[in-house]
A and B are shown apart, each in its own frame.
Chain A
Amino acid sequence: MPMLSAKDVPTLLRKGGAARVAAEAPAKFAPGDRVVVRNLNPRGHTRAPRYIRCKAGTIDRDHGVFVFPDTHAHGKGPSPQHVYSVRFTAREVWGDDASPRDAIYIDLWDDYLDPA
């Protein structure tokens, strides 16, 4: 294991922990694309909230390439891939009683999404 000295801590706190990676990865989607969230129920870690699975949304923007938490949490490598801000209407998520004007934006990884 590397040594961590007190003098390194301020720098690490300032720039450490970032999950954005420099790796190149093909983007499966572009802003404006319609997508549906996969029906994922992994035994391990995931950042795809339960309430958004099987819901359809629209890619709003591409954040770039990030470490994939679902593999990284289990020591199975960073699996770098694109993360998008995906827009879902409130009615798509919560049904007809939700406001027609509201929407929710959720950051989702390529492996959570299929074309709608």
Chain B
Amino acid sequence: MNGVHDLGGMDGLGPIDYEADEPVFHAEWERRVFALTLAMGFYGAWNLDMSRHARERTPAAEYLSSSYYEIWLSGLERLLDEGGLLTRAEIDARAAVLRAEGS
């Protein structure tokens, strides 16, 4: 697909902000999203190329305004939904509970 993820040769995206001693993960949820995506791949729920394609199908405007692991979360939710493992409603309901708990 000719998606917004295919950034090569595009101008106007601003400078790359390099962070000194950048940690692998900036928050615990990033670690969890990454681990879930890989673990369910090893489990056989999807393969590497399916998960990459799920991330690149993040809607263009959302993709460009998302952090790296926000795009991974978007892809994971898409894989869970399309794979029949969770529905959008279940994901949204759980997110609402966590939001209410302030976690």
Contact = CB atoms under 8 A, between A and B. Distances in A.
B53 to A, nearest CB: 4
Interface residues of B, number: 19
A16 interface: yes
A50 B43 contact: no
B8 A73 contact: no
Interface of B is mostly: helix
A72 to B, nearest CB: 4
**Most B C-beta atoms less than 10 A away, residue of A4, A50, A73:** A73
Interface residues of A, number: 28
A50 B49 contact: no
Interface of B: 1-2, 6, 8-9, 38-39, 41-45, 47-50, 52-53, 56
